[in-house]
Amino acid sequence: MKPVFGRLLLKLSGEGLAGDEGFGISPTVIAGIAEQIRDVHQLGVELSIVIGGGNIIRGMTAASQGMDRANADYMGMLASVINAMALQDSLEKVGVDTRVLSALEIKQVAELYIRRRAVRHMEKGRVVIFGGGTGNPYFTTDTAAALRAAEIQAEVILKATQVDGVYSSDPRQDPSAVRYETLSFKEAMEKNLQFMDQAAIALCRENDLPIVVFDMGQTGNIQKIVLGQSVGTLVNE
C-alpha cells in the first residue's frame, strides 16, 4: 500500500509523553512514539511534528494560579523545546534523521525556525520537530500546529489525543458522549468541541487543511491513517 499523504504535520501533546506519571517524560512512552514515527517516515512521507509542553508546565494553568500570563506562556514554549529535544534523541536512536526548529532563538540546541529551511529539511528526508509554539504568548501549540502546517503546505494535521476521536463531550467523564466519524469545521466551531482551540480550527478552515483526531495510545494508528484507513475523526470542509 502507498501513503495517501505526501507531507503531513503530527501534533503531539506534552501530556502524552508523561505516561502514567502524569508529569515529565517517560522514556518508554517516548521510545514507542519514536518507533511509530519511524515506521511512517520509512513509507517516504515528509513528516513534521509540533509538540506541546503540558507535561512540564501549562501556561494557562500557571496564569490562573497568579503567574503573569505572558511569562507563563514563554515558560510553556521553553517546555515544548525540551520535549522536542527529547523526541529528537529518541528518533535518532531508531535511525531517523531529525532537526529541531524553534520559534524562540536557542541556537545552542535548535535551529531558528525559517519556513524555507523547514521545507528543505523535509525534502531531504529529515523529520522536522517544531518547538517554541508560535513564539508569541496567548497562542496555544494547537494554533502553532495549524500555522506551521499551513506554512509548509502540509496536506493534513494528525492530532494525537488520548481518546479515539472527537466526542460531543469528554467520554472519560460522560458515558453518554457521542463519537463523530466526520465533522465540518463549521460544526466543530458552533458546537465548541474541545479537541483543538477555536483559533486553530479557524486557521485550518481558512486554509482548507483537514484534521484527523486519533488515539495515539493505539500502536500503529499513524501508519493506518497515512495508508488511507479510517481511524479516529476526520474534520474538514
Per-residue pLDDT tens for 84-107? 999 999 999 999 999 999 999 999
95: in domain: yes
Say if residue 5's pLDDT is above 90.
Answer: yes
How confident is the model over 147-185, as pLDDT tens digits?
999 999 999 999 999 899 999 988 888 889 999 999 999
Residue 44 lies in a domain: yes
> Phi and psi of 112, rounded to 5°?
-70, 135
Q: For the domain that residue 133 is a member of, what is the CATH number?
A: 3.40.1160.10
Q: Is residue 67 part of a domain?
A: yes
> For residue 50, what pLDDT band results from cuts at 50, 70 and 90?
very high
Question: Percent of the chain, pLDDT > 90?
Answer: 87
Q: What is the pLDDT of residue 30?
A: 96
Q: Does some domain include residue 12? A: yes
**Average pLDDT value for the chain:** 94
pLDDT on residue 106: 96
- Lowest-confidence pick of 13-22, 29-38, 102-111, 223-232: 13-22
pLDDT at position 190 is 94
Within a domain: 167: yes
State how many domains the chain has: 1
Residue pair 124/36 in contact (Cβ under 8 Å)? The answer is no
Residue 60 reports pLDDT greater than 90: no
Residue 1 resides in a domain: no
Band of residue 61 on the pLDDT scale cut at 50, 70, 90: confident
Flag whether 2 is in a domain.
no
pLDDT at 22 over 80: no
Asked if pLDDT for residue 136 goes beyond 90, the answer is: yes
User: For 175-233, how does the pLDDT look when each residue is reduced to its tens digit (9 = 90+)?
Assistant: 899 999 999 999 999 999 989 999 999 999 999 999 999 999 999 999 999 999 999 99
Where in the sequence is the domain holding 60, given as residue range(s)?
A: 7-236
